[in-house]
Amino acid sequence: MADSNTVTPGYFNALTVGLWRENPTFRLLIGMCPPLAVTTAVKPALTMGLCVIFVLVCSNIVISLMRNLLKPHLRIIMFCLSIAAFVTVADLYLRDFSPKMSETLGAYIPLIIVNCIIIFRAEACASKYNVLISILDGIGSGTGFTLALCILAGIREIMAAGTFAGIRVMPDSFVPWAAMQMPVGAFVTLGLLLGLSAIITAKKD
Amino acid sequence: MDIVYSLLMAFLSIVIVNNFVFTKFLGTCPYLGCSGRIDTAFGMGLAVTFVTTLSGIMTWFVDYYILVPHKLEITRYICYIIIIAGAVQLVEMYVKKFFPPLYKSFGIFLPLISTNCVILGICLFINIWGINNIAEVAVLSAGSGIGFTLAICIMAAIRENLKLADVPPSLKDAPITLITAGLLTMAFMGFTGMIK
C-alpha cells in the first residue's frame, strides 16, 4: 500500500492518514475550539464528532466535484458556503431528533462552519483529488477528530463526575475533581495529552 | 444614565467576565498559533476587533430587517458567513495596501480570520441572547474583539518570556502554551459572578 503514495494518495492511505499521522487535534493542532468546549462529557463529544464527520464528508464530496471551477481568491468563501449549507442540515436534524443534545451543544454546532479541520481538508485534499479519495479522507480525518474528542471527554468525565458516558465507573468513595469540569481542566488535560503524543512520536522515530 | 450604565456593564462583562477565549474557548486557533510575538498578536487582535464590530452590527441588521420579517431564518448561517467573509476581504485589502510589513507577518492567518470562531461566535451569541438594541449590539461586538485582543496579548507576553524558560522537551511549544492558557483561565475565573 505504501508505494501507491507517489502520484495520488492510495485509497487506504487516504483513509488512515487522519487517524494518527495527520490527526487534526493531536498532530496538526487545528480546530481546537470543540475539543476544549464540548468535552465535559462523552455523549456531547460523540455527537459533535458525528456531526463533524457528516459535514466533512458531504463538503468534501461537493468541493471535490467543483474543484476544477474554483478560482483561487474565491475558494475560501466557496468552501465556507458549502460547509454552511451542510451545517444547517445537521443543525436542523439535531434540533428535531435530539432537542436536548442540541441545547447542550448550543452555538458550537453552527460554529462547525468555521472549524479549521473542514476547511483544511477541503484545501489539502478535496480541492485536489477525486471524489472517492475525498470521501475516504473525510471519514478518516473525521474519525481521528472524534477519537481525540472522546479520549479527552472520557478523561474529563471520569475525573469530574466519576462516570463514563453516564455509567458510573469510579467507586463511591471517589472525590470528583470539580476543576476538570471547568475551562482550566480542558486546557491542562489537552496540554498534557499533546505532551504525551509528542513523547510517543519521539519514541516511534 | 441607566443606558450608559447598562452598556458599560455589558462591555465589562464581555471583555473580562465572559471573555470569549477564556470561558467559551472561541478563537483558540489564532490564540495558540498567532501569539508567538506581541506585535503580531496585537495587530491580529486589532484586525479581529475591526471585523467583529463590523460583522456583528451588519449581521444583526440583516437578521432583524431581512431574515426574520421574511421568514428566512433557515439561511441564517449562510448569510452570516457571507457577511463575515466580505468584511475580512475588506480588512485584507486595507492592510495589504497600507501596512505591507504587517501583511507579511500575518501570512496565512489573515484570510483565515474569516474562520475565526470569535467572529461567527459573537454573531451567533447576539442572536441567541436575543439582543434587540443596536447600541448594545455594537458594544458587545466591539467588546468581544477587545476581549480577544486582551487574551492574545497577555498570552504573547507570557510566551515571549517562556522562550527563556527551561521546559521539558516533550512539552515544548503547543503543550506548554495550552497549560499556560489553562492557568490564565483559572486567573480569569476569579472574575466569575462579578457581573450577572
- What is the nearest CA distance from A133 to chain B, expressed in angstroms? 25
Which residue in the set B78, B170, B189 is minimally distant from A81, CB to CB? Answer: B78
Mutate which of B24, B35, B92, B129 to test chain A, going by most A C-beta atoms within 10 A? B24
Please, which pLDDT band fits residue A5 given cuts at 50, 70 and 90?
very low
Domain range for A24? 2-204
- What is the nearest CA distance from B151 to chain A, expressed in angstroms? 14
- Convert the pLDDT of each residue in A107-135 to its tens digit: 888 888 888 888 888 888 888 888 888 99
Kindly determine whether residue A184 and residue B24, on different chains, have CB atoms separated by under 8 Å. Answer: no
Q: Which residues of A touch B172 (CB under 8 A)?
A: 198
Res. A16: pLDDT tops 50 = yes
Q: How many Å apart are CA B72 and CA B115, to the nearest integer?
A: 23
SS (H, E, C) chain A: CHHHHCCCCCHHHHHHCCCCCCCHHHHHCCCCHHHHHCCCCHHHHHHHHHHHHHHHHHHHHHHHHCCCCCCHHHHHHHHHHHHHHHHHHHHHHHHHHCHHHHHHHHHHCHHHHHCHHHHHHHHHHHCCCCHHHHHHHHHHHHHHHHHHHHHHHHHHHHHHHCEECCEECCCCCCCCCHHHHCHHHHHHHHHHHHHHHHHHHHHHC
> How far from chain centre, in Å, is Cα B98?
23
pLDDT at A1: 36
- What is the nearest CA distance from B48 to chain A, expressed in angstroms? 14
Cell numbers representing residue B38 in the block: 506581541
DSSP B25: -
pLDDT at A96: 92
- Convert the pLDDT of each residue in B114-158 to its tens digit: 778 889 999 999 988 888 889 999 999 999 999 999 999 999 999
**Whole-number percent of chain A with pLDDT over 90:** 22
Q: Which residues of B touch A36 (CB under 8 A)?
A: 25, 28
Mean pLDDT, rounded, of chain A? 84
Average pLDDT, integer, range B165-193: 86
Q: Are B79 and B43 in contact, with CB atoms under 8 Å apart?
A: no
Instruction: State the Cα torsion A99-A103-A106-A109 to the nearest 10°.
Output: -30
Cell 477525486, residue?
Answer: A130
Kindly determine whether residue A183 and residue B22, on different chains, have CB atoms separated by under 8 Å. Answer: yes
- Phi, psi for A53 (deg, rounded to 5): -60, -45
Res. A2: pLDDT tops 50 = no
- Convert the pLDDT of each residue in B180-192 to its tens digit: 999 998 888 888 8
pLDDT at B196: 64
Mutate which of B118, B185, B192 to test chain A, going by most A C-beta atoms within 10 A? B185
Q: How many Å apart are CA B72 and CA B187, to the nearest integer?
A: 42
Please name the residue ranges forming H helices in chain B.
2-12, 20-23, 28-33, 38-62, 76-98, 100-106, 117-128, 134-162, 174-189
A131-161 vs A42-65: helix crossing angle, rounded to 10: 170
Which residue in the set A29, A84, A107 is minimally distant from B32, CB to CB? Answer: A29
Res. B20: pLDDT tops 70 = yes
pLDDT at A86: 94
Give the Cβ contact number of residue A54 at 10 Å.
Answer: 18
pLDDT at B110: 75
Which residue in the set B111, B175, B186 is minimally distant from A195, CB to CB? Answer: B175
Kindly determine whether residue A76 and residue B114, on different chains, have CB atoms separated by under 8 Å. Answer: yes
- What is the nearest CA distance from A36 to chain B, expressed in angstroms? 7
Q: Say what the ipTM of the complex is.
A: 0.83
Average pLDDT, integer, range A72-99: 88
Average pLDDT, integer, range B27-53: 85
Res. A180: pLDDT tops 60 = yes
Considering its fold, how many domains does chain A have in total? 1
Please, which pLDDT band fits residue A8 given cuts at 50, 70 and 90?
low
> How far from chain centre, in Å, is Cα A19?
10
